[in-house]
């Protein structure tokens, strides 16, 4: 307590960021409320305690004397670090596939919707790839689910190694995967990635002393030509995938 005696309240909350000026959104909001002498509640912000980042939720109201003179603020704060960590974990579980660790269908859809809006704003293009594994069902049926699951993990590792910051790869479910290409202004680059995916996933896999051979088909849709919403792009990519499987 002695170390914070006489320190401005905002400086106490800011911790190391007081010097750098890199304030959290919560701290900026608190500063605004204090300046305007307005009540606030349920504001969460990171606070450094003994060198460790904690999360506090604070609420306070301005106090005035009988003549209306401002006396200061009175409020309460509570440490919500544990609750926040649980919420983050639940949020993560809701958006990631348990088997492969890749983003799941929900997260892929959210990312595609965001990419569509950003591409529209930049007068650019984004793309969506749908990937379906060929002959995976035969492996699953003959060798069983545990081998099938391990094979899917190998597939996801290969896919994750192919993408850059411009793409996000996810698993839609079963043996279906997807790639969101945020900036697809280079159609040749998108086509090259699709070909690399097919080639990489078609190489043999070694799983529990079994050498497994599968393939992959890819359907690609590009905004705004094939759709200007996430839903229409997914539908277009699905149709393209169906056509590519049809042609073998």
Residues labelled as active-site residues: 175
Residue located via tokens 């809006």: 117
The overall longest dimension of the chain from CA atoms, in Å, is 85
Omega of the bond leading into 224 within 30 degrees of 0 (cis):
yes
Residues 6+ apart with CB under 8 A from 21: none
Question: Are 53 and 67 contacting, i.e. CB atoms less than 8 angstroms apart?
Answer: no
| Range list of H helices, 136-212 | 136-143, 145-162, 187-201
User: Rounded to the nearest 10 degrees, what angle do helices 145-162 and 136-143 cross at?
Assistant: 150
């Amino acid at each position: 307590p002695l170390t914070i005696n006489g320190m401005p309240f905002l400086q106490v909350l800011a911790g190391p960021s007081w010097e750098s000026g890199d304030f959290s959104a919560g701290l900026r909001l608190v500063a605004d409320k204090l300046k305007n002498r307005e009540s606030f509640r349920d504001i969460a912000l990171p606070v450094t305690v003994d060198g460790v980042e904690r999360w506090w939720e604070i609420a306070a109201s301005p106090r005035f004397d009988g003549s209306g003179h401002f006396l200061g603020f009175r409020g309460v704060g509570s440490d919500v670090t544990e609750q926040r960590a649980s919420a983050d974990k639940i949020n993560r579980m809701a958006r990631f596939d348990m088997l492969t660790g890749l983003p799941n269908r929900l997260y892929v859809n959210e990312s595609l919707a965001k990419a569509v809006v950003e591409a529209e704003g930049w007068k650019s293009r984004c793309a969506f790839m749908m990937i379906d594994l060929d002959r995976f069902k035969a492996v699953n049926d003959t060798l069983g689910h545990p081998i099938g699951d391990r094979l899917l993990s190998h597939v996801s590792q290969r896919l994750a190694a192919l993408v850059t910051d411009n793409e996000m790869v996810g698993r839609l479910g079963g043996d279906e995967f997807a790639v969101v290409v945020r900036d697809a202004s280079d159609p040749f680059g998108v086509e090259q990635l699709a070909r690399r995916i097919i080639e990489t996933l078609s190489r043999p896999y070694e799983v529990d002393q079994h050498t497994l051979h599968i393939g992959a088909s890819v359907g690609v849709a590009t905004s705004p030509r094939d759709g200007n919403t996430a839903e229409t792009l997914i539908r277009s990519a699905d149709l393209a995938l169906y056509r590519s499987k049809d042609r073998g």
